[in-house]
Amino acid sequence: MQINCGPYSFDLTTTDPAVIHNAKLIYGDAPATNSVTDFTIALQPGSWLRRKIKPQVSFRCDQHAPFKPLPLSQAYALLEWGMNWCIAAHEYSRFLLHAAVLVKNDQAIICPALPGSGKSTLSAYLGLSGWSVYSDEMAIIDIDSQQVLPLFRPVCLKNNSISLLRSWHPSAIVTPVCRDTQKGDVAHVKVLNWQHYQQLKPVPITALVFPKYQADAALTIYQLDQLDAFGQLSRNAFNYNVLGETAFDIVADIVQRAGLYQVEYSELTELASFFDELVQP
């Protein structure tokens, strides 16, 4: 089975019908690529005994198995995490940040954040409310233009965010929940169809926003200085050490040109209004 994510494509081998169903649910409207795929991956069952007692599944990319086997019920989550690993571990021609990328009016807001900051919930909320989600996990930045490229990938929701998303958008395309993973309960929501994705193009970075969810907190916006933003951004890069001086120059240019903010919030509607202000034409 081929999975087309736009800049990257995967040749997946699996016999798990649930994984095949979920992959078609999320990626099925994308056409097959006419070129050789970028990554050959597989979800492999455990030993014969393991197939009978507490079945497990392993992710492989060529000869590499970067993760420990997981319960078979978590196979689709493992697939998505494995695809993230493939890109992060092998992409050296572009600059990669662990961040959400939200785009409106041909302007990108980059949201680097630690787990628990709410960036995926924010991405899903905005992605189904008029914004384009270029990624909720990985900002892919062209080295020469320093513009952000779109990815055809879902948003990974966790725990309470899954039921919240379903209450906001009952018709949203969401995979079945993988229970009790290392990140809790997870599900993936489709925020782009292929027709929409084809209309997207690389866009410049207008702002860096470091979000932090705090229950019952009023929206509080802090202006960051360039030195602080530089440190936080470089720590969130996947391939900073590999690209070296090139990565340093990219981060320095971004923090000099973009608006720099740290935000505490509890209400997504308030944060969305602030984001709208940042990308006014």
Torsions phi, psi for 270 (to 5 deg): -65, -45
Same-domain pairing of 141 and 214:
yes
Domain final residue pick, 90, 122, 148 = 90
- The number of distinct structural domains making up the chain is 2
Domain final residue pick, 74, 90, 106 = 90
Torsions phi, psi for 158 (to 5 deg): -130, 140
Beta bridge partners of 97: 139, 237
d(CA 35, CA 90): 18
- Interval 49-74: pLDDT, tens: 566 678 899 999 988 899 999 999 99
Same-domain pairing of 244 and 215:
yes
Q: What is the pLDDT of residue 252?
A: 97
Domain final residue pick, 38, 71, 90 = 90
Q: What is the pLDDT of residue 50?
A: 61
Separation in Å, CA 100 to CA 97, 120, 158, 245: 9, 7, 15, 24
10-residue mean pLDDT profile of the chain (281 residues): values are: 96 96 97 88 78 84 90 96 96 96 98 83 94 96 97 96 93 96 95 96 97 91 95 94 96 96 94 95 83
Q: Which domain holds residue 196?
A: 95-281
Q: What is the pLDDT of residue 258?
A: 97
3-state secondary structure of 62: coil
Residues 6+ apart with CB under 8 A from 169: 128
Exposed e or buried b per residue across 188-216, where buried means at least 16 C-beta atoms within 10 angstroms of its C-beta: bbbbbeeeebeebebbebbbbbbbbbeee
Of the candidates 133, 75, 130, 144, the one whose C-alpha atom is nearest the C-alpha of residue 109 is 133
d(CA 227, CA 140): 22
